């Protein structure tokens, strides 16, 4: 039977695809004792990869061997000095225990391990660890000789503070774990490693303090991470969407931060942190609305200052959510609530405006959001200038053209400035999104619509959970003693207990009777 050309082409394409799939799977088979067979495997799966280097050589001038590494991920100088040079010396004696001798006597590298399968070798190569293959040995050695460029530790730009530490996480996972270890010098600080992503095999570390954190919480975090089965994980935002309890809520249910001190403080409260290579953003669970409203600087200032700033922050968040809707509701439906002189001023400023207050507010809010996003996305040198100049020019032009009123411009400007008081960007976005439906309710139903919107938001918040913890804890729970770190920031010597929902098995975090008292100075 004659096969058509297109059929032969399709058959060849199918066979080629099947061969590529089989090579990419590398099926975890054990290594062969034949060195050339092992090298052929690496040549096949890394075909057309210029950066994968296979360097054959002789051990002691007698036994065939080869080292495989990826250029740019491995330290070539260290490979030459600590692996190739010792092995290629003439005095290396071949024996039955050669493999053990290489590990324990000949190769002066701290991190040395054995790999028994091809899959393990590929895994180590992808992380920058060179692999040593020896003829007549069905196993390989891998060395911790990684090297790649790393960004220096610097202050996080999105979480700046006036008083406190300036260091933030980087994209290097080992640097991040070391910074946490440096702050929490406790052997109970555990770090469990996972690999996620079929192709990226991204390393993820789950860290917690064993004697403080609930083991059930740790197991739940690990189980949720292990259920993630996707091609690649490129940023911790991927993980956040897979592990949160309520994916359709606008409110963040996971704390994300670049600050080392925030992660350390949450670990000491019994929470679990998730670190990932390739991103400076760590995730902390469980999250509550109160924890998302807190700034690390609240605890670095004296408690009176911290409490005052916290109250101002809550007030500004309320303004950022409700001020435009209240203005629209009062102007549209409840003019009797405005003093006569002020009402005359507002009415005169709206004489030329062709739009109702609802449309006017929505247009100004959308324009302000456009300017804000433009300022964020543009380069730093011009971003701030574009935001400020754009707001001034567009606002003045809109008022001069009679499209919007001066009071509305002021309301939107005050709202935008107040939204910057929210400590976390993700929380601020949630309130910015909710501002629009509340404005619409205010423009159609007046203050009744505003109250209805607030009720819907509160009910929604009451239904949220973060790893089983109520989102409004401790407000909706009976743990009123924990209000000392929610409504106010109590003195340090009064916050002697960890949050009940995370540290209930090891509640006390300080000794008794630590209130400053000069009269106790002579006691021994």
Give the tens place of pLDDT for each residue, 232-245.
Answer: 999 999 999 999 99
Domain contains 182 = yes
My answer on whether 309 and 209 are in the same domain is: no
415-438 average pLDDT score: 92
pLDDT in tens, 259-280: 999 999 999 999 999 999 999 9
- Average per-residue pLDDT for the chain: 87
**Domain co-membership, 330 together with 439:** yes
pLDDT of residue 493: 87
pLDDT digits 0-9 by tens, 305-314:
999 999 999 9
Q: How confident is the model at residue 449 (pLDDT cuts 50, 70, 90)?
A: very high
Residue 523 has pLDDT above 60, yes or no: no
Q: What pLDDT, in 10s, does the model give residues 478-491?
A: 777 778 888 889 89
Domain span at residue 371?
303-470
Q: Given pLDDT bands bounded at 50, 70 and 90, which one contains residue 328?
A: very high
Residues 24 and 132 in one domain: yes
d(CA 319, CA 414): 8
Same-domain status, 424 and 328: yes
Does 484 fall in a domain?
no
Same domain, 259 and 381: no
Contacts made by residues 452-461, CB under 8 angstroms, sequence distance 24+: 453/325, 454/322, 460/249, 460/251, 461/251, 461/289
> Whole-angstrom Cα distance, residue 230 to residue 234?
11
Same domain? 307 vs 449: yes
**Is residue 13 assigned to a domain?**
no
- For residues 73 and 126, membership in a common domain is answered with yes
Alpha-carbon distance of 322 to 442, in angstroms, equals 10
Residues in the chain, overall count: 524
Task: Pick the last residue of a domain from 470, 492, 518.
Answer: 470
Strand 189-196 to 202-209 pairing: antiparallel
Do 254 and 287 contact (CB within 8 A), yes or no? yes
| The pLDDT of residue 512 | 82
Q: Is residue 498 part of a domain?
A: no
Residues 212, 267: Cα–Cα separation, whole Å: 8
> Rg (Cα) of the chain, in Å, rounded?
31
With a pLDDT cut of 70, the percent of the chain lying above it is 90
Between 179-183, 270-274, 378-382, 506-510, the lowest mean confidence (pLDDT) is in: 378-382
Nearest to 360 by CA among 328, 318, 320: 328
Task: Provide the number of structural domains found in the chain.
Answer: 3
Q: How many angstroms separate the Cα of 52 from the Cα of each of 65, 72, 94, 232?
A: 17, 9, 28, 21
Per-residue tokens: 479: 């743990």
Assign residue 266 a region: left if phi > 0, alpha if psi is -120 to 50, beta otherwise? Answer: alpha
How confident is the model at residue 485, as a pLDDT? 87
Whether residue 94 is found in the same domain as residue 194: no
Q: What is the pLDDT of residues 360-408, one digit of tens each?
A: 999 999 988 888 888 777 777 666 666 667 777 777 888 888 888 989 9
Q: What is the pLDDT of residue 28?
A: 59
Least confident of 15-19, 353-357, 479-483: 15-19
Last residue of a domain, one of 91, 115, 143: 143
Q: Domain for residue 152, yes or no? A: no
Instruction: Give the whole-angstrom CA distance, residue 486 versus residue 182.
Output: 29
Q: Work out the angle at residue 344's Cα, subtended by the Cα atoms of residues 341 and 348, and round it to the nearest 5 degrees.
A: 145
Is 365 a member of any domain? yes
Residue 51 placed within a domain:
yes
pLDDT at 383: 66
Model pLDDT, residue 100: 79
Across 158-172, 241-255, 403-417, 477-491, least confident range:
477-491
Whether 103 and 164 map to the same domain: the answer is no
Give the CA distances from residue 237 to residues 32, 165, 272, 279, 427, in Å, rounded to whole numbers and listed in that order: 41, 25, 16, 10, 15
Indicate whether 489 belongs to any domain: no
Return the DSSP state at 8. H
Biggest CA-to-CA distance, the chain: 106
Same domain, 136 and 163: no
Helix (H, G, I), strand (E, B) or coil at 56: strand
Given a contact cutoff of 8 angstroms between Cβ atoms, the answer to whether 221 and 206 are in contact is yes
Q: Do 443 and 350 sit in the same domain of this protein?
A: yes
Q: Which of 287, 318, 336 is the last residue of a domain?
A: 287
Residue 12 has pLDDT above 70, yes or no: no
**CA dist 300 to 154, 265, 270, 294, 316, Å?**
19, 12, 20, 12, 21
331 and 261: one domain? no
């Amino acid at each position: 039977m004659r096969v058509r050309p297109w059929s032969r082409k399709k058959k060849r394409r199918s066979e080629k695809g099947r061969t590529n799939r089989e090579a990419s799977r590398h099926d975890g088979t054990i290594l062969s004792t034949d060195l050339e067979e092992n090298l052929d495997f690496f040549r096949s799966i890394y075909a057309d990869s210029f950066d994968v280097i296979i360097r054959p050589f002789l051990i002691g001038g007698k036994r065939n061997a080869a080292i495989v590494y990826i250029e740019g991920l491995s330290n070539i100088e260290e490979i030459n000095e600590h692996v190739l040079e010792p092995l290629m010396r003439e005095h290396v004696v071949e024996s039955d225990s050669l493999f053990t001798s290489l590990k324990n006597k000949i190769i002066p590298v701290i991190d040395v391990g054995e790999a028994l399968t091809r899959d393990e070798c590929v895994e180590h190569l992808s992380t920058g660890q060179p692999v040593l293959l020896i003829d007549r040995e069905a196993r390989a050695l891998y060395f911790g000789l990684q090297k790649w460029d790393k960004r220096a530790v610097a202050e996080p730009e999105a979480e700046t503070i006036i008083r406190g530490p300036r260091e933030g996480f980087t994209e290097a996972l080992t640097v991040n774990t070391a910074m946490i270890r440096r702050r929490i010098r406790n052997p109970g600080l555990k770090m469990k490693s996972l690999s996620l992503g079929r192709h990226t095999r991204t390393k993820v570390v789950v860290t917690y303090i064993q004697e403080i954190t609930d083991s059930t919480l740790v197991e739940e975090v690990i189980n949720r991470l292990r259920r993630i089965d996707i091609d690649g994980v490129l940023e911790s935002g991927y993980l956040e969407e897979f592990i949160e309890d309520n994916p359709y809520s606008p409110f963040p249910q996971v704390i994300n931060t670049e600050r080392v001190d925030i992660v350390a403080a949450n670990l000491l409260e019994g929470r679990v942190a998730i670190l990932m290579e390739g991103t400076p953003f760590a995730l902390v669970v469980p999250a509550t609305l109160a924890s998302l409203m807190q700034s690390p600087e609240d605890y670095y200032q004296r408690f009176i200052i911290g409490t005052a700033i916290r109250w101002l922050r809550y007030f500004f968040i309320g303004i950022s959510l409700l001020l435009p809707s209240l203005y629209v509701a009062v102007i549209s439906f409840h003019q009797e609530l405005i003093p006569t002189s002020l009402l005359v001023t507002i009415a005169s400023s709206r004489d030329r405006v062709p739009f109702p207050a609802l449309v006017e507010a929505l247009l100004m809010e959308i324009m302000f959001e456009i300017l804000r996003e433009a300022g964020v996305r543009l380069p730093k040198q011009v971003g701030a200038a574009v935001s400020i100049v754009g707001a001034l020019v567009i606002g003045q032009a809109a008022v001069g053209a009679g499209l919007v009123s001066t009071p509305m411009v002021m309301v939107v400007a005050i709202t935008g400035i107040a939204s910057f008081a929210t400590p976390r960007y993700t929380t601020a976005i949630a309130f910015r999104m909710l501002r629009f439906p509340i404005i619409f309710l205010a423009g159609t139903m007046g203050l009744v619509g505003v109250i209805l919107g607030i009720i819907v938001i509160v009910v929604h918040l009451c239904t949220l959970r973060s790893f089983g913890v109520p989102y409004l804890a401790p407000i909706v729970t009976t743990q009123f003693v924990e209000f000392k770190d929610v409504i106010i920031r109590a003195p340090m010597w009064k916050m002697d207990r960890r949050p009940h929902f995370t540290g209930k098995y090891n509640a006390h975090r300080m000794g008794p009777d630590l209130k400053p008292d000069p009269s106790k100075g002579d006691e021994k």
